[in-house]
Structure 1
Amino acid sequence: MIIPAFDFLEGKAVRLHQGNYLEKKFYDIDLYQNLINYKKQGVKIIHLVDLNGTKNIKNRQLNLLKDIISYTNIPIQIGGGIRTEKDINMLFKLGFKRVVIGSSAITNQIEVKKWLRIYGSNKIVLALDVKIINNIKKISINGWLQDTNFTLEEIIDIFSSENLKHVLCTDISKDGTLSGPNITLYKEIVKKFKNIKFQASGGVSTLSDIISLKQTRVNSIIIGRSLLEKKFTIKEALKCWQKE
């Protein structure tokens, strides 16, 4: 499916270039109107990132998150600095459908395994962001500032024992660039991990990119900047996905 994405920093919609807070672009959008339109067009889920929360969990944009939940009944998956069971319980209580876990999947694996057991694999999305060198998919964490020695495949294997289902995989070099997605990456991982529902993220700029990604058999495509900059409409994107 197509998953529209909104990143928020200081209460405003924003896109970062390859995760760099110094290279950001704010967008003047009517979020409420966007959500009404998405609902009307048949969007099944929204992806939301609290970039303030990512940098510092004490600065989570709670009032904004509450407002967004009150705007729409489209299910929303939320990411950004989710580190504890308390964070997860609070976000589910607010009404979010899924939580997106990033750095903790590397730094706190015992806890994340426990969360998969407690909440169920439908409620947890692992966000695994990779830098690819010589086809080795090394995971980066903490806003992509810290490289790790874990590969994408190793982490998926580690959590497969807990019935991991949803993985949001981003090629960092593509994020926020509109330079086209890494089709080879998604072909490889979809073929290797048949039980995982992959969400592809990064680089989508044309309807042709959607067609190419659908052909890799990823479950979903997360689209942020292209929709914000009106490279195509949500209606066109959804039609393209369904047709393909």
Structure 2
Amino acid sequence: MIIPAFDLINGKPVRLYQGNYLNQKDYNVNLRECLEEYKLKGIKIVHLVDLDGAKNSKNRQLNLLKKILSYGIIPIQIGGGIRNIEDIQNLLDCGATRVIIGSCAIKNKIQVKKWLDIYGPDRIVLALDVHINNNKKEIHINGWQKKTNYFLEDIIEYFSSSQLKHVLCTDISKDGTLSGPNFKLYQDLVKNFKNIKFQASGGVSVLNDIVSLKKTGVHNVIIGRSLLEKKFTIEDALKCWQNES
């Protein structure tokens, strides 16, 4: 399915270029109105990330996230700076449909495995962000600021024993660039991990990108900047996804 995305800094929708906080573009949109429009158009879930929290968990925009969830307009998967079970429970209690776990999946793997067992695979999304270097998918954390020694396939394999179901994978070099997605990345992931519902993220700029992503076998496509900048309409994106068999 198509999943519209909003990244928030200081309460405002923004996009970063390749995850760089120094290369930020602000958007003057009314988030509530956007959520209402997407629901009317047939969107099933929206992706929301607190970039302040992703960069530093002490700066999480928790009151804002609670306010957005209180609208109850449309299901939301939400992430950014989630570091403990209290964070997860808080967001779920406030109405989040899914909680996105990023850096913690690398820093605290054993604990995240327990969270998957406690809440079940439908409530947890692992966000695994990669830079591809000599065909090796290197995972980055802390709002993409820190490279780790972990590789994408190894982490997915590790969590698969806990019935991992949802993985949001972003090629950082594509994010916010409108340069087209990394189709081979998703093709390989779908081929190697048939039980995972992958969410492709980064680079979608034209409707044909959606067609090509559907052909890779991914279950979901996250679209941010293209919708914010009206490169195409949400109606066209949905039609494109539904028509491609």
Report the TM-score range of the alignment, normalised by the length of the smaller protein: over 0.9
Runs of 4+ in 1 over 6 A off after TM superposition: none
CA distance in 1 between partners of 2:188 and 2:210 (Å)? 17
TM-score w.r.t. length of structure 1: 0.98
Classify the secondary structure of the residue corresponding to 1:173: coil
CA distance in 2 between partners of 1:145 and 1:34 (Å)? 29
Equivalence for 2:209: 209
CA distance in 2 between partners of 1:5 and 1:91 (Å)? 18
How far 1:67 moved relative to its partner? 2.3
Contact 2:14 2:27 in 1 (8 A): yes
Classify the secondary structure of the residue corresponding to 1:175: coil
Contact 1:36 1:72 in 2 (8 A): no
Equivalence for 1:14: 14
CA distance in 2 between partners of 1:73 and 1:118 (Å)? 27
CA distance in 1 between partners of 2:210 and 2:52 (Å)? 30
CA distance in 1 between partners of 2:147 and 2:59 (Å)? 24
CA distance in 1 between partners of 2:135 and 2:73 (Å)? 40
Classify the secondary structure of the residue corresponding to 1:153: helix
Identity, % of aligned positions: 68
How far 1:111 moved relative to its partner? 0.3
Is 2:108 the counterpart of 1:108? Answer: yes
Residues 1-150 of structure 1 aligned to structure 2 (within 5 Å): 1-150=1-150
CA distance in 1 between partners of 2:68 and 2:20 (Å)? 25
How far 1:10 moved relative to its partner? 0.5
Contact 2:72 2:95 in 1 (8 A): no
Unaligned runs of 5+ in 1: none
How far 1:33 moved relative to its partner? 1.5
CA distance in 1 between partners of 2:192 and 2:225 (Å)? 29
How far 1:134 moved relative to its partner? 1.7
CA distance in 2 between partners of 1:240 and 1:212 (Å)? 10
Equivalence for 1:177: 177
Unaligned runs of 5+ in 2: none
Contact 2:52 2:61 in 1 (8 A): yes
Contact 1:54 1:80 in 2 (8 A): yes
TM-score w.r.t. length of structure 2: 0.98
CA distance in 1 between partners of 2:242 and 2:198 (Å)? 17
CA distance in 1 between partners of 2:28 and 2:139 (Å)? 32
CA distance in 2 between partners of 1:112 and 1:62 (Å)? 21
Residues 216-227 of structure 1 aligned to structure 2 (within 5 Å): 216-227=216-227
| Aligned positions, number | 244
CA distance in 2 between partners of 1:233 and 1:63 (Å)? 30
RMSD: 0.9
How far 1:70 moved relative to its partner? 2.6
